[in-house]
Structure 1
Amino acid sequence: MAFGASLLLSHPLLADTFDRNIEAESQVVTQHKTTIKGDRVSYSATTGTQPVWNEEGSAVATLFYTYYQRTDIKNQNERPLLISFNGGPGSASVWMHVAYTGPRILRIDDEGYPVQPYGVETNPYSVLDVADIVFVNPVNTGYSRVLEDKDGKLPSKDKQKEMFFGVNADIQYLAEWINTFVTRYNRWRSPKYLIGESYGTTRVSGLALELQNAQWMYLNGVVLVSPTDIGIKREGPVEAANRLPYFAATAWHHNKLAPEFQAMELEAFLPQVEEFTLNKLIPALAKGAFISQDEKTQIIAQMARYSGLNEKVIEQSNLDVSEAFFWKELLRNEGKTLGRLDSRYLGIDEKEVGDRPDYWAELTSWLHSFTPAINYYLREELNYKTDVKYNMFGPVHPWDRSDDKTGPNLRQAMAQNPYLNVMIQSGYYDGATNYFDAKYSMWQLDPSGKMKDRLSFKGYRSGHMMYLRREDLQKSNEDLRQFILNTLPESGEAARYPR
């Protein structure tokens, strides 16, 4: 048997079939119909790979993408194009693809927990009715991969990092890739939007200016879902204080607050916590060891009332309670821990003592349902077949985070382009990129305030991926839909600032 297998593998034609490589260029097109907001929609799904070229014009990587285009409308030139990225860095586009904006979403319960049998179902709230969508997987995510050179060799790890794996390298090669995509699919006349989640918000914030300055491509909107700091520093007292509104939201969800707060709607309760954070807690933390004992006692008492934590642990933390400790502490007496990215999810640790959870309950739950869904969907419904592994999270580290000016660059892109608007979407129970940090970044994005009418914030009663909760899937898609429709200029409306 071994000899027979050896002969089989030595055959020059058959041997190639055992290579586990993705094609640099590929395309599969399928036709579909769905129902969105009660209306029938016909669309095509193009799934494939498109190369990344270096300055010499050689293909150095290939990016896997899925492109949805509505086919039952007459004028494609006026139809918006939404370009979607997830984050990590190192995360595939799977999350927003099959859970948020795409026409098919994974089967989960109404709160976002996995159910069997795994699979996908119709997304009745998808924004495909108002915009075509392309989901892009950066290098080493999904089926995207670095390519071998003409000698069959991959670039060194250092060279790969230089080309792909850093804040600015990522933005530069993706801008080039978008230019090629827009050209190939004749979308230069379309209004264009970028949407990014988590680290994807760093990516799209930087892309807004890179597309303008290096590709001469101007956008109508950028959507930041659960944003990172986008290069806007939040350190010291600000970083510590900004956690409190998230703590308060989570404690409210788990019914750990006084009856007077629990009786309030969350959206009515949080503004008073935010006001306390800005006007009392940040100044108190700034005073450090020289705060008066009376003021410190009052601050600790109010923090405890808003967070659901014991006054003593707040005092022992010097008013600076870490997120990890909060996830371990809030439900410690019940033997449960909280999820990091979505604190509605509960975990069970080996020991109740300690200052951080053993694992992230929400992430294991999500991988439980997302991984089978995307592998089934791409292969069996979109007919894209390969033996290459779909990387939910790919090898992209160490990531070069130096010289991150993505937030200031987004502000510059807005200043240069009067059409450009920005919307932020955040879940109140997200402990990784908390909603109040997102608000803070929005406030600091344009310190002059001259463009604040083009900045907006939307909050949801869920976590990092707010769209997993059915009610927020509908609400977040509708917010996105209205953002797109409201930022399309009237016919003949010029992109200029009035005198």
Structure 2
Amino acid sequence: MSRKLVRIGVSCGVLFASAAVAMGAGPQEKKESDKKKEQKLVVTGTSVVEPAEPPSDSTTDGSVTVGGQAVAYRAVAGTLTVGSSDSQDAMMGLDGKLLPDTGEKAPDPEKPEEAPATARMFYVAYFKKDAPVGRPVTFLYNGGPGSATMWLHMGSFGPRRVVTTDAQHDEGAPYKIVNNDYSLLDVSDVVFIDAPGTGFSRIMGKDKEKAFWGVDQDAHAFDRFIRRFLTKYNRWNSPKYLFGESYGTPRSAVLSAALQNVDLNGIVLLSQILSFDNSIDGPKWNPGVDQAYALGLPTFAASAFYHHKLPTQPAALEPFLAEVEQYAIGDYMSALLQGAELPETRKQAVAEKLHQYTGLPVTYLMRANLRVTGAAFSKQLQLDDETTTGRLDTRYKGPDIDPLSADAEYDPQSNAISSAYTAALNQYMRTELKYGENQTYKPGAYGDPDFTWDLRHQAPGGPPANFQEGGTNVMPDLAYTMKSNPKMKVMLAGGYFDLATPYFEGKFEMHHLQIPQKLQANISYHYYQSGHMVYVNEDVLKQFHADVAAFIRGTEDGK
């Protein structure tokens, strides 16, 4: 085993698994991460002990207009405390306190750091007023790992939406917070959940980081949260949906297996990665596993198409991508699999074909041995203009920081929109939802000097996590859920310009699930001319809402 516990060296807090997380950092990355850790330790200082009592929930009333129809709702912003194990969780009431007659000794209030680890998970739930019994409920969360859910909350299906400039850097505050014409409240109640240690969620107790920051630890915390939520709000008999974005997609796979006896109606996977060996972020640290290069090629092609960097510009994007997909899993993958045995003449021919599909120079492709990572592509596509191409959304671009570096040093899309989302979330939460007084909202856990992520995972029926071989892969979890609950449907959505989790990677993973062929019919595919956060493009958000709403309407009766 080479990838067990990974320290996150990312500081930008935007819903994606970094190359270090997805593939395991090489010596250079580890050294830089250690430097960042030391710098953060200097400025962070002494840890703050969290208060024993959670803040009070806040309940407010509101209305949103969707499709010309007003939807009155009740919003609850609050927390639910979950244990770090099922046995511990079972001894806690909904208030997070030890139940009487458990035989367990209550934690010493004077020594909270010695108490068993718990997570106080923050959520905002929106309930349509006067709704019929059996109304669907959808649980939404972003990824990271280590990201709060402000992106989905303020950008996709909540009742309010922050307005950003599509594919451009915003001009700055004040940002517009508007009625969300595309809120999902027209078809489902929605619950936005911040992962442990992010947003207003907090982790507490002994070994709290080990208890909640990891593939399995995180998913089981969400499992316990959802069960507590269903109990608190009497929603056990409601149609239930999971909606995860980015790292939220592997969370959904593991979570769905943990929730197997709950029988979900559906799962929406936005910007999927289930097998980290497929990540285009860092395949150079995983030599011999070449499929990530092939799965990223269609996104390279879409990006070059958008920026008019192709030698010959195709008439339309989607037919062009269909051609590239076939080449990627055919001749290109075949060439990569030959490794050093690939004849020079064929290598030259493949490089020339890649030039036609990516716009990158043939000489560069030959020097790269036909293998280009996502960060290298972001740097090279618009190199002549001293411009870096976006990662989360390749439609975005920004000035090079170091024109001589081989890889992109930052993500222009993250820089373009992060301030708007952070400001809007804080403004909305504190003024309209009346929550967050005297608290800090953490867009991500990346600033915590102790933030690590345990990539070990035990699949249903698989070997113990300590015996895991290869990269993290939760495809068996989703397959297990689909076989255990053959009526459940899965909606896969993605953006053509997403270089963090290329859309073709998600399609490839779905086509390789270990499920009967007939269950493939339970999966639907939706792709959009946008990036990782497909909803930043308002035209796409409109269609995305229509697609998700249709998915829920078509599955809420269990058919």
Partner of 1:222: 267
Name the residue aligned to 2:195.
138
> In 2 relative to 1, CA 385–324 (structure 1 residues): closer, same or farther, beyond 3 Å?
closer
Match 1:164 to one of 197, 209, 212? 212
Which is greater in Rg?
1
Which shows bigger deviation, 61-70 or 50-59?
50-59
5 Å-filtered alignment, 1:383-398, equals 383-394=434-445, 395=448, 397-398=451-452
- Assess if the C-alpha contact under 8 Å between 1:209 and 1:410 holds in 2: yes
Structure 1 pair 37/111, CA: closer, same or farther in 2 (3 Å)? farther
| Distance (Å, rounded) in 1 between the aligned partners of 2:167 and 2:237 | 39
CA–CA distance in 1 between the matches of 2:53 and 2:422? 22
2:153 to 94, 97, 101: 97
Residue 411 of structure 2 corresponds to residue 366 of structure 1: no
Is 1:312 aligned with 2:363?
A: yes
Partner in structure 1 of residue 307 of structure 2: 254
Give the fraction of aligned pairs with identical amino acids, expressed as a percent.
Answer: 35
Supply the AA of the counterpart residue of 1:256: K
Asked whether the 8 Å contact 2:271–2:506 carries over to 1, the reply is yes
Summarize the Cα distance change of 1:182–1:122 in structure 2 as closer, same or farther, 3 Å threshold. Answer: same
Greater shift in the superposed pair: 231-240 or 398-407: 231-240
What code does the residue aligned with 1:36 have?
Answer: V
Counterpart in the other structure of 2:67: 37
1:356 aligns with 2:407: yes
Deviations 1:128-161 (A, max 9, x none): 10000000112111011123xxxxxx32xxx223
Q: In 2, are the aligned partners of 1:231 and 1:404 still within 8 Å (CA)?
A: no
CA contact (8 A) 2:296 2:502 kept: yes
Residue 41 of structure 1 aligns to a residue whose secondary structure is strand
> What is the TM-score of this pair, normalised by structure 2?
0.78
User: In structure 2, what is the Cα distance between the partners aligned to 1:217 and 1:226?
Assistant: 25
> How far apart, CA to CA, are the structure 1 residues paired with 2:273 and 2:267?
14
Which stretch has the larger CA shift, 323-332 or 247-256? 323-332
Given candidates 363, 377, 389, the residue that maps to 1:326 is: 377
- The Cα of 1:428 is off from its aligned counterpart by 1.0
- Counterpart residue number, 1:210: 258
* C-alpha contact 1:205 1:230 (8 A) present in aligned 2: no
Q: 1:443 aligns with which of 499, 511, 516?
A: 511
Q: 2-side partners of 1:197 and 1:339: how far apart?
A: 18
8 A Cα contact 1:143 1:389, kept in partner = yes
Counterpart of 1:489? 557
- Of 136, 141, 164, the residue aligned with 1:80 is 136
Equivalent residue for 2:230, pick from 173, 177, 182: 182
Confirm or deny that 1:380 pairs with 2:462: no
Alpha-carbon distance between aligned partners in 2 of 1:82 and 1:140, rounded to the nearest angstrom:
22
Instruction: Decide whether aligned partners of structure 1 residues 209 and 242 sit closer, same or farther in structure 2, where only a CA change above 3 A counts.
Output: same
- The residue number in structure 2 matching 1:240 is 293
Report the count of equivalent residues: 458
For residues 358 and 407 of structure 1, do their structure 2 counterparts lie closer, same or farther at Cα, with a shift above 3 Å needed?
same
State the SS of the aligned residue for 1:377.
helix
TM-score by length of 1: 0.88
Q: What do the CA deviations read for 1:271-323 (whole angstroms, capped 9, x no partner)?
A: 00001111110001111222233322221111000001000100111111121
Distance 1:386 1:404, change over 3 A: farther
Structure-2 change in CA distance of 1:231 and 1:416 (3 Å): farther
Q: Which residue in the other structure is 1:429 paired with?
A: 497
Structure 2 portions without partners, runs of 5+: 1-47, 97-117, 280-287, 460-473
Asked if 2 retains the 8 angstrom alpha-carbon contact of 1:232 and 1:444, the reply is no
**1:400: which partner in 2?**
454
The offset of 1:52, in angstroms, is 1.2
Give the alignment of 1:43-122 within 5 angstroms: 43-53=73-83, 55-56=87-88, 57-58=91-92, 59=96, 60-73=118-131, 75=132, 77-111=133-167, 113-115=169-171, 116-122=173-179
AA aligned opposite 1:183? T
Secondary structure at the counterpart of residue 243 of structure 1: helix
Q: State yes or no: 1:297 paired with 2:348.
A: yes
- Looking at structure 2, the residues matched to 72 and 447 of structure 1 have their Cα atoms a distance apart, in angstroms, of 40
CA gap of 1:247–1:19, structure 2 versus 1, over 3 A, is closer
In the alignment, the residues of structure 2 paired with residue 180 and residue 284 of structure 1 have an alpha-carbon distance, to the nearest angstrom, of 51
CA deviation after TM superposition for structure 1 residue 197, in Å: 0.7
C-alpha separation in 2, matches of 1:192 and 1:206 = 16
Correspondence list, 1:189-200, <5 A: 189-200=237-248
- Name the CA distance, whole Å, in 1 between partners of 2:270 and 2:138: 14
Secondary structure of residue in 1 paired with 2:444: coil
Contact 1:80 1:132 in 2 (8 A): yes
Give the alignment's Cα RMSD to 1 decimal.
Answer: 2.0
After the TM superposition, which of the residue ranges 49-58 and 400-409 deviates more from structure 2?
A: 49-58
In 2 relative to 1, CA 172–51 (structure 1 residues): closer, same or farther, beyond 3 Å? same
* Residue 205 of structure 1, CA deviation: 0.8
SS of the residue corresponding to residue 451 of structure 1 reads: helix
Number of the residue aligned with 1:496: none
The answer to whether the 8 Å contact 1:273/1:306 transfers is yes
Paired position in structure 1 for 2:21? none
Alpha-carbon shift at residue 23 of structure 1 (Å): 4.4
Distance 1:72 1:232 in 2: 47
Q: Is the 8 A contact 1:41 1:72 kept in 2?
A: no
Q: 1:106 to 1:129 in 2, by over 3 A?
A: same
Deviating more after overlay: 399-408 vs 380-389: 399-408
SS of residue matched to 1:242: helix
User: Could you say if the C-alpha distance between residues 380 and 357 of structure 1 is closer, same or farther in structure 2, counting changes exceeding 3 Å?
Assistant: same
The alpha carbon displacement at 1:61 in A equals 2.3
The answer for the alignment partner of 1:14 in structure 2 is none
SS in 1 for 2:268: strand
Contact kept in structure 2, 1:24 and 1:61, CA below 8 Å: no
